[in-house]
Structure 1
């Protein structure tokens, strides 16, 4: 991403979308394995036995390898469902094999029914998607507010990590009062704990 004046949220999202579309399949596959290694190390470091994680789309930093590896280690995985009212429901899953279906926005979701939004309080670690994040943990989502609303239901001390590509960690991300900051960032090359403002 180019340096200079901070673009608006909309312009920044468009820059990220274009950049992600232009990544090669090889780069995405390599990044997915690197992210899986980092997320698994993070899970172990936090002694997490239950983790909430998003299911990545083809252009997002991949989380599916991590989810499969975590499940193989006996870690409970909580995956989101998008509702038309702007809230997320959640499903505990034991496998990604033949257990997904396209959801409200065409994004894969668990095929089993979701539970109430408040179940997020049962996890030890929360992994969220982002378009970009800055050094203070300001997270730019995709504009629908699903994860910002979901994070209001978490226990205050549960760490929240956003997953982005390395060039999506920026010096500044525009924020509004409803935006929830994250406590850390995972990229293919590094894991960062953010410095609160």
Structure 2
């Protein structure tokens, strides 16, 4: 990655992180309700019976209510667990599952760990992002876990990134290691990109 691209990514992420820190609790709660409805509708549209999803942090558009709903509906939900080698393990979400602080301070499930290939069986991947542009290019938070996971899958299912409405932008800085997503879910809408490879 060139120094210019790396610098542009760092600056963009810092700006987005600061904007998220300024959100009121009311705005965060409203976003979680919207994301819950949008993701539920997406699962129904795709007929997904098994999905992967992340546990949102306090400033991300909330996914935890969606996860609870999906588990209650009998949908198998795999939650990511970060590893020090840059790969993700997975754990099956349960109605009363405990959450701990994983690597990088991210919320992660407590439970039996499945290996990185467990995600190959899901019908839909729901992943975090800092921003997504109109071509489906996703800007992550810089650790590469999801780009590496998506790039290594032989038959990748639809992949949707979750962001706030203002984080769907015209263009994000990217390099060859960055992966495009099928679509993006915000608190008010779901967009599927026509040029998506998935």
Identify whether the pair has TM-score above 0.5, normalized to the shorter chain.
Answer: yes
2:124 paired with 1:103: no
Residue 117 of structure 1 contacts residue 153 of structure 1 at CA under 8 Å; is this kept in 2? no
Note the 1:13-162 alignment, pairs <5 A: 13-95=13-95, 97-156=96-155, 158-162=157-161
Residue equivalent to 1:181: 180
Structure 1 residue 74: deviation in Å? 0.6
Which region of structure 1 is more displaced relative to structure 2, 40-49 or 145-154? 145-154
Deviation >6 Å, runs of 4+: none
Residue 91 of structure 2 aligns to a residue whose secondary structure is strand
Counterpart-to-counterpart distance in 2, 1:52 and 1:112: 15
Structure 1 residue 188: deviation in Å? 0.6
* Unmatched segments (≥5 aa) in structure 1: 1-6
Residue equivalent to 2:3: none
Residue 120 of structure 1 contacts residue 153 of structure 1 at CA under 8 Å; is this kept in 2? no
TM-score normalised according to structure 1 size: 0.93
What is the number of residues matched between the two proteins?
190
Counterpart-to-counterpart distance in 1, 2:38 and 2:163: 12
TM-score normalised according to structure 2 size: 0.92
Structure 1 residue 113: deviation in Å? 3.1
Which structure features the higher share of helix residues? Answer: 2
* Unmatched segments (≥5 aa) in structure 2: 1-6
